[in-house]
Structure 1
């Protein structure tokens, strides 16, 4: 399709029903956001590079002395809005019709409608995701498979609160040009959703809510505040009605949790503790800082590792001190309906994880599969009872230091050939699916998204450049990685886009200079 109006040009394949979301008025709203805030976004991305260079030179990171007044101040974010008071179970997944219906029917409190890591930004997914959200908000979502099986929203009871996650600040949308330049993907995702659904959500007793990913500090959160303030004025909706939960999934953000809540202001609702993206960020930021910052096998880095405990304890303490909700990480296990023993192992692991989070003070957590909703709910019910959350539980004993957050050397676990092979195989399998248009992929009993590929390829890059010695006695080199890639690809066999995935993996894992995000070169290979 090709549409050109008022300096906005849409270039992409035809998508059924696209006219319902790509209206001239909606596109002009997105163009307004792009023209106003695109340059500030560009400046913040440049500031990221400067900050990374400063940290690399110091080989250290600490809490910012210039923002101590914010950390020491007496302030709180607004109370949780309707639909986000009780968030004990949140299900995540892409905005694909069948999975969306299943997520909305599963009994969770919140559906994180993922336009980011679980979504390949094919144009049909970008537009189709907006159509799914539009229909879901109005309870009109339905899907029929080619075989005739129907999926519809249940008519009884409440559905989960819909909370979309737009793309991070770094990603462009090349199919939507404003004044000849690709728009910022985050502004396209958030802008289209707000234009079509903000007033509708408010009329239904909910509101326009978001999860905000990949930020690295208070200035990036502050840009979202400006976007939301402006959108409220243009759309004529009440001030502070747009609310957002920020993912703390970069190591710089872990040192600015309070500052980010403060910067988002009246739009702030809570923080979420990611895992893979957080570890990916640790590697990216400290990739040349020496052996003390080389992680063991990614599978060995659990949430009970000292540095991860410091991170989650800090998040809960900060949130509850400021009146914000604290949301735990992903349970990525996919229950097996064919293997009872494997299913029980998966459920036991999830139960242990969610019990720990509830005991630590989190107000809710994520699952990736409907069958895990009861497990997560049971763990949080045991702690919360009839209370909607545990915002009243303070953690005065928590006093996290920079050394604790950066204690990579204290993470137990080895660097093994099995770990290297897992990084290679899982990343290539995922990338093949991503290039084909599927951003949420079940691999070896786990639901994987783009963060999986990022931590895998970044770990391989780090091991090569650090000359890591494996348990087999072999040193990780580019030659060894290529040999392992060849062997793993042969073991995978036939898979669409496998050759492209292999080349892409080698490109981002073996480059001399570390590519900031693999999704940027990957984006050039789709559509």
Structure 2
């Protein structure tokens, strides 16, 4: 790792760029670095205060407290207010596709026929320095209309005409993550400020000229104050780049349990620029387990049983629809992680039937759109929403029948843990982590597209199951260290296969072993793993 210390130039003294990658000089120009440094110096202390609040709140949960709807914002929830009118480009969002930011994926996603492509620096991208630089370059080329890619086999990829492309949205990394490769005054930048700031610096004016934003998806928020911090950041970006106030529009993922209790408040904090909330279901399940990691009475069953039909998840999604529609915002549904099964027609049909049923549930409940992880699922999801939602959205469905209490959101479902479910958690976490360490953040495993969110569910469930005490599989086998170690022992042979990240399998096994046995649950798998990335 090398360092470039910026010693001259107005406003950029004290910036270190650690690491090198092809093309970074064209992105990290003196002007761009000065812009990023200004964001860091203005907002880093506020970010740290918000993170400290998270830690204090989690300590309360660990001591037995439960999340509550805020008493100090009762008046806000009762008041009659609406978010700013939605831009034309985001009126119809019935099918959105998500994925990493490599050039091939960017081109395929923009060409996919989806209404929106969310370019994901958060859960679907392993944040190696090379991946981040390549991703910013790819998005810059996409906005300019010049992005092309030729694969090793000679296949060429190019963008369709602008009018036929999906609307681009960018998900920066969350407030909890640092960008170690860019340091300001000896401190690492907030990863989210780096991702969003660099993208806006190079693309905001061009996107504004096309009435295409810029548009962002904001991840992992836990409170109104964290939303307000993003609002302040984006207002500063608009000011620095001479954009009209409110030009940058956002959708917020409600993917943490604390945020579910502050949906109105988050919408209010971002009311000049927010266009919707999204049910980030997989991260939400992860957050539920993490929040209640010390609560023996809130242990979830295996992941396959934690579906959106479970009462606590249905309550969360229906409350999101009700809240969004009352405030004039879109209520976006969650991810279908299935991918086509080319080798088994019956299994493929069964997988597609699950996707169809899930999308039918969403549109019937009142969601205005949904997510898919694979382009092949777009026609299926599109057909379901076209049939049940002929208009651009269905914000007229106010869902006044929904009445959600605190207990509805925190009461866990009944269920069990099978041997296959336990072993699947071990395998998925190891295989995903190995691929992530090898630079791949979006990995097909057993015909599901796994990303950091699904791997996190596997990891925190393993920790909670092993630390809860006196748990048993459905066949009576104790859930203990012996069971876990036996599951790990079956995985080293994967190092001799051609799966993504095979060369890092043993490293991933060691890391999961240490994290699972630790007395304290690590908040995010990507924090210790990030230290191992270039």
Report the counterpart of residue 393 of structure 2 in structure 1. Answer: 389
> Structure 1 residues 392, 506: closer, same or farther in 2, change over 3 A?
same
Q: How does 1:204-283 map to 2 (within 5 A)?
A: 204-283=210-289
* Secondary structure of the structure 2 residue equivalent to 1:241: coil
* Secondary structure of the structure 2 residue equivalent to 1:365: strand
Q: How does 1:475-514 map to 2 (within 5 A)?
A: 475-490=478-493, 493-494=496-497, 495-514=502-521
1:103 aligns with 2:105: no
For 2:309 and 2:346, how far apart are their aligned partners in 1?
A: 25
For 2:16 and 2:236, how far apart are their aligned partners in 1?
A: 23
Match of 1:404 among 401, 408, 421: 408
- Deviation string 1:369-419 (CA, Å, 9 cap, x unpaired) is 11111011111111221x1111121111111000100110xx242112111
CA contact (8 A) 1:225 1:265 kept: no
* Secondary structure of the structure 1 residue equivalent to 2:272: helix
* Secondary structure of the structure 2 residue equivalent to 1:497: helix
- Deviation string 1:329-373 (CA, Å, 9 cap, x unpaired) is 001111133432222222211111111101110000000111111
For 2:33 and 2:208, how far apart are their aligned partners in 1?
A: 22
For 2:198 and 2:353, how far apart are their aligned partners in 1?
A: 40
Structure 1 runs (4+) greater than 4 angstroms displaced:
none
Per the TM alignment, residue 493 of structure 1 is displaced from its structure 2 partner at its CA by 4.5
For 2:75 and 2:481, how far apart are their aligned partners in 1?
A: 47
Per the TM alignment, residue 156 of structure 1 is displaced from its structure 2 partner at its CA by 7.1
1:521 aligns with 2:528: yes
CA contact (8 A) 1:301 1:412 kept: no
Per the TM alignment, residue 304 of structure 1 is displaced from its structure 2 partner at its CA by 0.4
- Deviation string 1:163-187 (CA, Å, 9 cap, x unpaired) is 0100010110110011111111000
* Secondary structure of the structure 1 residue equivalent to 2:146: coil
For 1:335 and 1:128, how far apart are their aligned partners in 2?
A: 28
CA contact (8 A) 2:495 2:506 kept: no
CA contact (8 A) 1:143 1:152 kept: yes
| Number of aligned residues | 522
Per the TM alignment, residue 20 of structure 1 is displaced from its structure 2 partner at its CA by 2.1
Report the counterpart of residue 18 of structure 2 in structure 1. Answer: 11
CA contact (8 A) 2:118 2:168 kept: yes
For 1:156 and 1:190, how far apart are their aligned partners in 2?
A: 22
Report the counterpart of residue 462 of structure 1 in structure 2. Answer: 464
CA contact (8 A) 2:494 2:505 kept: no
* Secondary structure of the structure 2 residue equivalent to 1:358: helix
Per the TM alignment, residue 22 of structure 1 is displaced from its structure 2 partner at its CA by 1.1
- Deviation string 1:289-331 (CA, Å, 9 cap, x unpaired) is 12x2000011110000000100000000000001110110001
Report the counterpart of residue 44 of structure 1 in structure 2. Answer: 50
Report the counterpart of residue 372 of structure 2 in structure 1. Answer: 367
Q: How does 1:34-433 map to 2 (within 5 A)?
A: 34-155=40-161, 157-290=163-296, 292-385=297-390, 387-408=391-412, 411-433=413-435
Structure 2 unaligned runs (5+)?
A: 7-12
Report the counterpart of residue 10 of structure 2 in structure 1. Answer: none
CA contact (8 A) 1:425 1:489 kept: no
For 1:74 and 1:307, how far apart are their aligned partners in 2?
A: 27
Taking structure 1 as the reference length, the TM-score comes to 0.97
Per the TM alignment, residue 82 of structure 1 is displaced from its structure 2 partner at its CA by 2.8
For 1:156 and 1:177, how far apart are their aligned partners in 2?
A: 36
Match of 1:442 among 441, 444, 447: 444
For 1:523 and 1:100, how far apart are their aligned partners in 2?
A: 24
Structure 1 unaligned runs (5+)?
A: none
CA contact (8 A) 2:495 2:504 kept: no
For 1:493 and 1:345, how far apart are their aligned partners in 2?
A: 31
For 2:311 and 2:15, how far apart are their aligned partners in 1?
A: 50
Per the TM alignment, residue 205 of structure 1 is displaced from its structure 2 partner at its CA by 2.0
For 1:376 and 1:73, how far apart are their aligned partners in 2?
A: 35
Taking structure 2 as the reference length, the TM-score comes to 0.96
CA contact (8 A) 2:111 2:164 kept: no
* Secondary structure of the structure 2 residue equivalent to 1:269: strand
> Structure 1 residues 492, 405: closer, same or farther in 2, change over 3 A?
farther
